Amino acid sequence: MAKTKILFECQHCGLTTPKWMGKCTNCGAWDSFIELNEHQQEVVKQTKSTTSKKSKAVSITDIQEEEIYRFSSLDTELDSVLGGGIVPGSLTLIGGSPGVGKSTLLLKVGSNVASTGKNVLYVTGEESAGQIKLRANRLKSNEKNLYLLSEIRLEQILVELQERRYDFLIVDSIQTIYSENITSAPGSVTQVRQITFELMRIAKESDTAIFIIGHITKEGSIAGPRVLEHMVDTVLYFEGDSSQELRILRGFKNRFGPTSEIGVFEMRSEGLVSATDVASRFFNRDSKQSGSALTVVMEGSRPIILEVQALVSESHTSNSKRQATGFDNNRLNMLLALLERKTRDTTLRI
Ligand SMILES: Nc1ncnc2c1ncn2[C@@H]1O[C@H](COP(=O)(O)OP(=O)(O)OP(=O)(O)O)[C@@H](O)[C@H]1O
Ligand SMILES: [Mg+2]
C-alpha cells in the first residue's frame, strides 16, 4: 500500500495534511498551510509516533523500576513546584507573559546550580551576553561554572554541548532559536517542534536537565503548537502582572511529580525572592471594613488568606446587574441561584 505523504502543515496549530487547505479543519485558521520540504517532512515523521517499528511487549512485572533522582535548584519555591527538585534528563518548559521575570528566575536558578559545582549553560537568543552579565551582577549570580552562550542557531548550540559536559541547560527562549536545516522562520511551528524534539533527545541521551522558556500568546497559551506541551516532561506557567511585585509559578503538567503546588515570588531589585508570609499577601485590612470578608483557600499544601469584597447599590434601571471581578460570572450566577432557591426566607434574597 502506498504511504500517505504529509506535504502541508498549518502554521497555527501544526496540523499536517497531504493536501493544501484554505481553512484549517482543526483550528479554523485561514491561509495557514505551508508546503514542507523533504527534511521538514522527516522531522514531522520523527515527532509523530513511529508505528512502523517492530517492538515487543514486555510484562510489567519484568520491567525494572527507574529511580528518580533529583538535585535542588536551591530555590525552595521552584523545588516545591517541581515536586522536590530538578530531574536530570528532564525537559521543562516555562511559559509566561513578557517581563514577568522568566529570565531573572532562570538566571538565578542557573547560578544556584552552578554554585554546587555543576556545569550550567545559559543560551540566550534574545539578549546579548553583556546584558545578561548586567543582570547577573544585579542578581549576584556570577559563578565560575555558569557559562553564557549568545546564540540562535541550534547547530551551534549542539556543538557547544559536545565540547563540554553540562548538567543543566537553559534556553531563553525557544521561539528565538532556529535550525539551519529548516527554511521556515524562527518561532514557526516546524522550527519550534524540531528544536524541542532535538532538545528532548539531548536531555535523554546526556542526562542533562533542560529548561526552555516559551513566550505565551494573548490567549495565554505557549506560542507554538500544542504538541510542545505534549513533548516536554514538565510545563510551568509564570503568572503575575509585571507591574505588581508578586509572581506565581504554577505547574500545568509534571511527569515526575504533582502539579498542585504553587511557588510565590516577590520581584525586588536583587531579583525574584521567595515570598515569605504568603498567607497575608492577598488581603489588605488595617481596620474593620463593611462589605469585606476574609476566607482561607488551600493552594497545594499552602493556606492563603483571601479578601472578598462586595458592594450593593440601588439600581436605576429595571434590570439590576450582578457582576464580579476575579471570579467567573457564570459560577457567580449559579451560586446566587442556589442561594435564592435554598434560602427560603425571602428577606435573605440576594
Ligand atoms: N533594576 C531592577 N530593579 C527591579 N526590578 C527590575 C529591575 N530590572 C528589571 N526588573 C524587573 O524584571 C522584569 C523583567 O524581568 P525579565 O527580563 O526576567 O522578564 P522576562 O519574563 O524574561 O521578559 P521577556 O519576556 O521580555 O524576556 C521587569 O518587568 C521588572 O519588573
Ligand atoms: Mg527574558
CATH of the domain at 120: 3.40.50.300
Nearest CA to ligand 1 atom 31: 242
Residues with CB under 5 A from ligand 2 (ion): 103
Model confidence band, residue 215 (pLDDT cutoffs 50, 70, 90) = confident
Ligand 1 contact, 267 CB (< 6 A): yes
Classify residue 43 by its DSSP letter. Answer: H
Spatial separation of the C-alpha atoms in residues 262 and 260, rounded to whole Å: 7
Query: In terms of Cα–Cα distance, which of 113, 167, 164, 161 is closest to 141?
Result: 113
pLDDT in tens, 160-209: 999 999 999 999 989 899 888 887 777 778 888 889 999 999 999 899 99
The answer to the question of residue 109 being in a domain is yes
What pLDDT does residue 103 have? 94
pLDDT of residue 2: 45
Tell me if 214 CB under 6 Å of ligand 1: no
CA 127 to ligand 1: nearest atom: 27
pLDDT tens-digit map of 66-125: 788 899 999 999 999 999 999 999 999 998 888 889 999 999 999 999 999 999 999 999
Number of domains in the chain: 3
Whether 58 maps to a domain, the answer reads no
Residue 103: inside a domain: yes
Q: Is residue 65 part of a domain?
A: no
pTM for the full model? 0.77
Place of cell 457564570: 330
What pLDDT is attached to residue 1?
A: 43
Q: Which three cell numbers stand for residue 257?
A: 511529580
Q: Is the CB of 96 under 6 A from ligand 1?
A: yes
Find the 258 Cα to ligand 2 centroid distance in Å.
26
86/199 same-domain check: yes
242 CA distance to ligand 1 middle (Å): 8
| C-beta of 272 in contact with ligand 1 (< 6 A) | no
Helices 38-47 and 189-206 cross at an angle (nearest 10°) of 50
Domain that holds residue 24: 8-35
Residue 178 lies in a domain: yes
Q: What is the pLDDT of residues 281-293, one digit of tens each?
A: 777 766 677 888 8
Check pocket membership of 101 for ligand 1, CB cut-off 6 A.
yes
